Amino acid sequence: MSHEAGSSLSVSIATFGCKLNQSESEAILAQFRGAGYRIVDDAAEADVFIVNTCAVTAAAERKARTMLRSRRRNPRALVMAVGCMAERSPQELSRMEQVHVVLGNDEKNRILDYVVLQRAETATSVRIGGIHQLERMDISHPAAGLRGRTRAFLKIQDGCSQHCTYCIVPHVRGRGRSLPLDVVTEHTRQLAGEGFAEVVLTGVALGTYGRDLGLTDGLARVLEAVQSIPGLRRLRLGSVEPWVVSDRLLQVMADSDVICPHLHLPFQCADDPLLRRMGRPYSVRDIERILNRAMTLRGDWGFGSDIIVGFPGESPGSFTATRRFLSESPISYLHVFPFSVRPGTPASRLPDTVAPSEVRARVKDMKALDSQLRLRFRKRHLGTLQPVLFESRRSDTLLAGHTANYLDVYSDAPDTLAGRIHPVKITALHSNGVVGTLT
Ligand code: SF4
């Protein structure tokens, strides 16, 4: 059965985890679209149902299992479990009666071959492929978002060589590896040429881009190389490790009209002894230096951060220290994660675990701070004029989009503005952002 035989078939994908996984799901769909498949959102309609899994937390794995077991699916569908959980527990997934194919991260670019194989042989056994083959970096085509012509996610880096004590990622994504700089430039040129209003650079450890290629300050070099590509209107960075944020990187971002003044920095906490237990190679003083340096270069940054709550050894004092630091910082939003024990990681063997009820209380407290920081950030923009990239309709009256510094904006705007950057005046607060009036 050739790939082209997909013309009457449909595919649906459920994605868990990070921006990189989302961009890989888009790249998977691009392969099926190329083979003539219809992309459907409802798994009940799909002939091929894919779950692109995440293994960063126990909760993410639980949700993937539930999705794979879901009865709301076409009973004749070919079910594929791919990605990080497949890398971590292929046998467990292959024992699930609903699953026909289990694929590692490196085989996502050949997923159609497995569909053809599995269908051709009307296989009775579960096919497992590409587990722990994490050496390559596919340069053939940009793993980019092709849903709509608004934002494209460009994967320029994969894997991680850091080994933070709580993290499973290096085991399921391999060592850090990067696309060559000229390939990154070519892919960005291609996406700008295809009319994407915003290109988002992604990776597992994006900030460590180029280290495997012998490049210092690799991410700053990428930005310097691509920012003046004709037709490139907005360039955004995915999450960037704090220890690689150099003055050169901040300078190129601050001076640019194309690079979004938005940095998502996973600080995890603001307590030095805890950072050392996590294996994070920076201190609270380093975090302060980054934020202060950035704010001296320009004042309209949007800063986000990932925070782990309840890490073993997190005392009430260290939690309070993190909370106070964040509330006094220019950070505008938080992603709050309760500590999740990942089997096989050093942190899973650490003493001084925090009681689950205490973890829940601290998560609630940190999320309350997140709401305050978001409100503070929104209020700061009232009355200002902002270029907004409009994306999608959220209600009969409101078209949603976001500013360069990652503020969500809702406007009474026509659909014709979707995918376009348009100036608006920020006039009021909205439950999820702000309201903007077209100017
Ligand atoms: S930097 Fe640390 S937390 Fe991030 S992927 Fe690497 S090991 Fe995991």
Q: Which of 19, 160, 243 to mutate to test the pocket of ligand 1 (most atoms within 8 A of CB)?
A: 160
* Rounded (10°) CA dihedral 266, 271, 273, 277: -30
> In a mutational test of the pocket of ligand 1, which residue from 202, 204, 278, 308 has the highest number of ligand atoms less than 8 Å from its CB?
204
- Domains of the chain in start order, with CATH, are 10-129 (3.40.50.12160), 151-378 (3.80.30.20), 385-438 (2.40.50.140)
Q: Distance (Å, rounded) from C-alpha 102 to C-alpha 35?
A: 21
Among 188, 195, 172, 199, CA closest to 108: 172
**Closest ligand 1 atom to the C-alpha of 173?**
5
In the sheet where 127-129 sits, what is the strand order? 38-39, 10-15, 48-53, 78-83, 101-103, 127-129
Assign 3-state DSSP to the chain and report helix, strand, coil percentages, each to 5: 40, 20, 40
Looking at the CA of residue 241, tell me the nearest atom of ligand 1: 1
Atom of ligand 1 nearest to the CA of 161: 6
Tokens of 123: 């296989």
* Residue closest by Cα to atom 2 of ligand 1: 164
User: Would you say the CB of residue 265 lies under 6 angstroms from ligand 1?
Assistant: no
Report the pLDDT value the prediction gives residue 136, as an integer from 0 to 100.
Answer: 61
Q: How far is the CA of 280 from the centre of ligand 1 (A)?
A: 9
Predicted TM-score of the model (pTM): 0.91
Q: Which of 87, 241, 277, 311 to mutate to test the pocket of ligand 1 (most atoms within 8 A of CB)?
A: 241
- From 163, 173, 244, mutation site for ligand 1 pocket: most ligand atoms within 8 A of C-beta: 163
Report how far ligand 1's centroid is from the alpha carbon of 159 (Å): 9
For residue 208, which atom of ligand 1 is closest to its CA? Answer: 1
CA 183–ligand 1 middle distance (angstroms): 25
Q: What is the pLDDT along the chain (439 residues), one digit of tens a residue?
A: 444 455 579 999 999 998 889 889 988 998 999 999 999 988 888 999 999 999 998 899 999 999 998 866 677 889 999 999 999 999 999 999 889 999 999 889 899 999 988 877 655 667 777 777 666 665 555 555 555 568 899 999 999 999 999 999 999 999 999 999 999 999 999 999 989 999 999 999 999 999 999 999 999 999 999 999 999 999 999 999 999 999 999 999 999 999 999 999 999 999 999 999 999 999 999 999 999 999 999 999 999 999 999 999 999 999 999 999 999 999 999 999 999 999 899 999 999 999 999 999 999 999 999 999 999 999 999 999 999 999 988 777 789 999 999 999 999 999 999 999 999 999 999 999 999 999 9
Closest CA to ligand 1's atom 1: 162
69 close to ligand 1 (CB < 6 Angstrom): no
Residue nearest to atom 4 of ligand 1 (CA): 205
Query: Can you give the pLDDT at residue 416?
Result: 92
User: Is the Cβ atom of 241 under 6 angstroms away from ligand 1?
Assistant: yes
Q: Among the atoms of ligand 1, which is closest to the Cα of residue 204?
A: 5
- On whether the CB atoms of residues 347 and 166 are closer than 8 A, the answer is yes
Distance CA 10, CA 25 (A): 15
In short, whether 161's Cβ falls inside 6 Å of ligand 1 is no
CA 167 / ligand 1 centre spacing (Å): 6
Of 134, 164, 219, 244, the one to substitute when testing ligand 1's pocket (max ligand atoms within 8 A of C-beta) is 164
Q: What secondary structure letter does DSSP report for 188?
A: H
Angstrom distance (rounded) from CA 158 to CA 242: 17
pLDDT of residue 191: 92
160 lines ligand 1 (CB under 6 A): yes
Classify 157 as helix, strand or coil: strand
Return the pLDDT at 7: 58
